[in-house]
Structure 1
Amino acid sequence: MPIQVASRRRSAASLAKAFPEAQIIDVTSKAAEPWVRLSPFYPHGGIPVPRTPGVTGQSVEGIWQALKVFETTDVDLTKLDVTSMTGLKRTVRRYGHVRGHRDGLHGERLLSYETARRRIYLPAYRWVLENKTPDLIERLRDLASEQEVLLLDYTTNGDVTDPMTPLSHAALVRLHLHDEWPDEDDPSLRPDGQA
């Protein structure tokens, strides 16, 4: 299944030269319907907040931002309800150093960046792929059976353990299609569950 991921920031000419036979599909928040629905910013609604039974968010990014804890502020429940695909980011410039992500909205423990990716981002995004966009996943599977498919994202990092670059949801789509989804249990955690 020939599915590749490239940066949306590359020029059309550069992409055409590097991937001359590929069907190019933008899956960012700037994409057209229906592919914009693969963006973690897309407000599907009803997405379970990991480690928080009975609570849902509108978007994966909203859940990720809601659980982020800074030097000067804790979780932000309002991010769970954002439906505009804008106004989701919570920044270091405004709130100070990131201390971690809360282990659920009411969890006492703060998760490291990698553990938060595994316990918050991955399960929330996988839930969207399985429950909100299975039609798009099937379309990608069908396309990839006929030709190379190139997914565009702002980053291309599919390595959960690489903290230097934001995780690429396009790379996660690729991993999902290849049945290579990353482990959602952090292998660095001790058996007693402590980080």
Structure 2
Amino acid sequence: MPLIIKNRRVSVENLAKVYPNAVIIDVTSRGSEPWIRFSPFYPHAEIPIPFSPGQFSMTVEGIWQGLKVFETSNIDPSKFLISEMKGIKRSARKYGKVLGHRTGLTGDRLLSYQEARRQIYLPSYRWVLENRVQDLIYKLKELVAHTTVVLLDYETNSDIDNLSRPLSHAGLIKLYLEDNWPTEI
């Protein structure tokens, strides 16, 4: 059966009309248990920080935001410790233009947005899929075997190379379930 990615802002009622009998699952930080555990903001703890042996983050989003470097601000290791699912984001409005993502806590190189997606975000999120939510992966596989499943996310971009839109972690879940994970290097 199909696995479909839709924007969370579309009403569940409308989705139910378009996809009757589908199971609709919100995998965002606003979702319910147990599916909220797919959110990059979910505090799984002990997520390895790429390029930083022996260093860990509570969340995938903490890694992404913590290693981001701006015109007026370097990395922010405090983002690795946040477990409340809020206060993790860092914006260009506050810190100026994003210069890139640092290769770890002590790295001397900045990765481009595309490189950072492949070398920071993908390995971090995949680690969570493989080490923290395998029970949910199994449940999704069972559901997809029998019915249409709609995953809700704020973003719907599943193309790692489409840099015009943020990447959908729901899209990454779909790629993982389909054994179609993007190349990480």
Range into which the TM-score falls when normalised by the shorter chain: over 0.9
Q: How does 1:119-138 map to 2 (within 5 A)?
A: 119-138=119-138
Other-structure match for 2:111: 111
Paired position in structure 2 for 1:79: 79
Q: Aligned-pair distance for 1:13?
A: 2.7
- Any idea what the Cα deviations from partners look like across 1:1-38, whole Å, max 9, x if unmatched? 42111000112232112211310000000011100000
In structure 2, give the amino acid aligned to 1:29.
S
Residue 92 (structure 1) aligned with residue 92 (structure 2): yes
RMSD over aligned CA atoms reads 0.8
User: CA separation in 2, counterparts of 1:117 and 1:105?
Assistant: 17
**TM-score (norm: length of structure 1):** 0.93
Q: Which runs of 5+ in 1 are unaligned?
A: 186-195
- Please state whether the residue corresponding to 1:24 is helix, strand or coil: strand
* Counterpart residue number, 1:2: 2
- Counterpart residue number, 2:31: 31
Aligned counterparts of 2:78 and 2:57: Cα–Cα separation in 1: 10
Cα deviation for residue 105 of structure 1 reads 1.4
> Deviation at 1:104?
1.3
Q: Which residue of 1 aligns with 2:145?
A: 145
In the aligned structure 2, how far is the partner of 1:173 from the partner of 1:30?
Answer: 17
SS in 2 for 1:6: strand
Q: Matches of 2:103 and 2:19 in 1, distance apart?
A: 41
**Aligned partner letter, 1:38:** F
**Could you tell me which residue of structure 2 aligns to residue 163 of structure 1?**
163
1:58-77 paired onto structure 2 within 5 Å: 58-77=58-77
Q: How many residues get paired?
A: 185
Aligned equivalents of 2:73, 2:119: Cα separation in 1: 21
Between the aligned partners of 1:18 and 1:48, the Cα distance in structure 2 is 40
Structure 2 distance, partners of 1:106, 1:65, is 15
* CA deviations over 1:107-143 (Å, ceiling 9, x no partner): 1110000100000000000000000000000000001
Identity %: 56
Partner AA of 1:113 in structure 2:
Y
* Structure 1: distance between partners of 2:38 and 2:175: 14
Q: CA deviation at 1:76?
A: 0.3
TM-score by length of 2: 0.98
Unaligned stretches of 5+ in structure 2? none
